[in-house]
Amino acid sequence: MFEWLAENWWALWLTAFLGFAVVEMLTLDLFFIMLGGGALAGLVADLAGADLWLEIVAFCVVSLLMIGVVRPVALKHLRKGPADQRSNIERLIGESALVIEAVSANGGVVKIGGDVWSARSENAVLAPGDHAVVSAIDGATAVVAPQPETAVQ
C-alpha cells in the first residue's frame, strides 16, 4: 500500500484538500480552505509531472499567498453589508440602551432591546434611567457611551 501511495501523491493531495474542506465547514474561519487551495496546487503540480519537492513548494507558496492576500479580502467582503443584514453582536452596536444600574468604567447594568447586559463606560458615569448608545461589545459586556442630546428645533 505504501508503494502505491509513494507512486500516487495525487491521492494524498486530494485527501488533504478534502480534509481541509471538512475542517473549514466546521470552523467557517476561511483559513483551512486556503490550505485546501494549496493542496489543490500540489495536486495540479503532481498531475503535471512535478517532483515531490516542487509539489510541496507549490503547496506552501499557494497556501501562504491565499492566507495573506485572498483571506483578508474575503473576510472584508463577508463582514460588510447593510445594517439590517448584520447579525448577533454586530447588530447591537449603535443601539440605544437604558441604564438600569449605574455604569462606570468598572461596570454596571443596561437594558438593550429587552435584554439585560452587563456594561461599562469608557469615559463617563451614567446614572440609572439615563440613555446610552452601545459603542462596542467586549465579550459579554456592552461598552456604552452617553447618548448625544438631540437638537431642539
Which residue ranges form the domains of the chain, and what is each CATH number? Answer: 2-79 (no CATH), 89-146 (2.40.50.140)
pTM above 0.85, yes or no: no
Choose from 30-39, 92-101, 110-119 the range with maximum mean pLDDT.
30-39
Nearest to 12 by CA among 34, 33, 39: 39
pLDDT of residue 119: 93
DSSP states of 73-113: HHHHHHH---GGG--THHHHTT-EEEEEE-B-SS--EEEET
**DSSP-derived 3-state class of residue 29:** coil
pLDDT of residue 34: 95
Mean of pLDDT over the chain: 87
d(CA 32, CA 19): 9
pLDDT of residue 86: 58
CB 86 within 8 A of CB 68: no
Q: Which cell goes with 112?
A: 438593550
pLDDT of residue 51: 92
The average pLDDT across 111-130 equals 89
The average pLDDT across 93-119 equals 90
